[in-house]
Amino acid sequence: MIKIDKRIPWQSTPPMHVPLNKDNWLTRGLVGLWDAREPTGPAYNRAGLDADGAPQAGVTRTWDEFGPQYEFANSYIDIGTSNTVRITGAFTIVAWGTHLGTNNYRPYLSCWDAGGSQGYGLSVNNTNKLRLDCYSSGTVTLTGATNVGTGFRMVAGTVRENKPSEVWLDGVSDGTTTMSGFPTTTSGYARIGDDGANRFWTGVIPRVLLYNRGLSTAEIISLRDDPNQIYMPFQSTFWGGAIAPFPGGPLFRSKHFTPARYFA
């Protein structure tokens, strides 16, 4: 078990090197995991690959009773042009956050070529609904049915192989469609909170996940109910040397759902 010295800053946060739980099915195909556990510096990709992010001016790390989060004031995190994010097959984006901005198409995560004609992304559109984009030879989008609102939400979107594409809001399916083909991102650059068209995020995003496969509804629900299962369990002196008393604890806690399991 990993122990935390509560004398250090952000003592309730486990070290940056808390490993992923490779025995958990939900780490399969996980190529991007960005959260706010480090108090300064890059937005590290904890999936163990490249594609660390660079928070831009207007992005700060904050903390509430639910854990660390990135707070955006009309800004974004630049992930850059890593091949890790240049996905050309099935993919899934999962994110948690609150948006307060008024720009059209406020992205959780996007990856676009310089011309903006090829790529993918998951955003909130101009009618405040989820929008999943998959651009290759043509534009294909999926728009959710529900107003996202300004509260804290868990969102997800996937383009699958030989199955309908789908978006979810708080683990509930919010729309499906059939997309012909996968994104083309041979020269794409990725950002959290922007789509390259200066439509920046205002609000908070504590965590974004990127998979190079299509997740099922059951997997989305599992992440909703226990967002920390992808990490190894840890032991924190912040909790008196005991195992963290709820999923999330110092790592991340869902604001909507009763925890389904404890660390053990």
Residue 262 lies in a domain: no
Domain containing 114 equals 3-239
pLDDT band at residue 186 under the 50/70/90 scheme: low
Residue 17 lies in a domain: yes
Residue 186 lies in a domain: yes
pLDDT score recorded for residue 119: 85
Residue corresponding to tokens 């307060």:
100
Strands (E), 81-229: 91-99, 106-112, 119-124, 129-135, 139-147, 153-159, 165-169, 172-177, 189-192, 201-211
Cα dihedral: 210, 123, 137, 32 (round 10): -10
217: enclosing H helix or E strand: helix 217-225
Residue 259 lies in a domain: no
pLDDT band at residue 60 under the 50/70/90 scheme: very high
Lowest mean pLDDT among 62-76, 180-194, 196-210: 180-194
Lowest mean pLDDT among 26-35, 113-122, 145-154, 185-194: 113-122
Strand partners, 147: 129
The total domain count for the chain is 1
Residue 190 lies in a domain: yes
Residue 252 lies in a domain: no
Instruction: Compare 140 and 257 and report the one with higher pLDDT.
Output: 140
Segment 144-156 shows an average pLDDT of 93
Taking a C-beta distance cutoff of 8 angstroms, is the pair 215, 230 a contact? no
Most confident of 107-116, 169-178, 244-253: 169-178
Taking the model in full, what pTM does it have? 0.83
Among residues 75, 79, 31, the alpha carbon closest in space to that of 54 is found at: 79
- CATH code of the domain covering residue 16: 2.60.120.200
221: enclosing H helix or E strand: helix 217-225
pLDDT band at residue 137 under the 50/70/90 scheme: low
Burial 117-143 (b: 16+ CB within 10 A, else e): ebbbbbbbbeeebbbbbbbbeeebebe
pLDDT score recorded for residue 74: 92
pLDDT score recorded for residue 112: 84
Residue 205 lies in a domain: yes
pLDDT score recorded for residue 212: 93
Lowest mean pLDDT among 148-162, 169-183, 241-255: 241-255
Angle (CA) 22-24-27 rounded to 5° is: 65
C-alpha to C-alpha distance for 139 and 175, rounded to whole angstroms: 17
Structure tokens of 169? Answer: 């809001």
pLDDT band at residue 138 under the 50/70/90 scheme: low
pLDDT exceeds cutoff 70 at 210: yes
Lowest mean pLDDT among 12-21, 188-197, 208-217: 12-21
pLDDT score recorded for residue 4: 34
pLDDT score recorded for residue 258: 38
Residue 8 lies in a domain: yes
Q: How long is the chain?
A: 264
| Separation in Å, CA 42 to CA 70, 79, 213 | 12, 10, 26
Cα dihedral: 248, 251, 254, 255 (round 10): 110
Over residues 64-111, the pLDDT tens digits come to 766 789 999 999 999 988 888 888 889 999 999 998 866 667 899 998
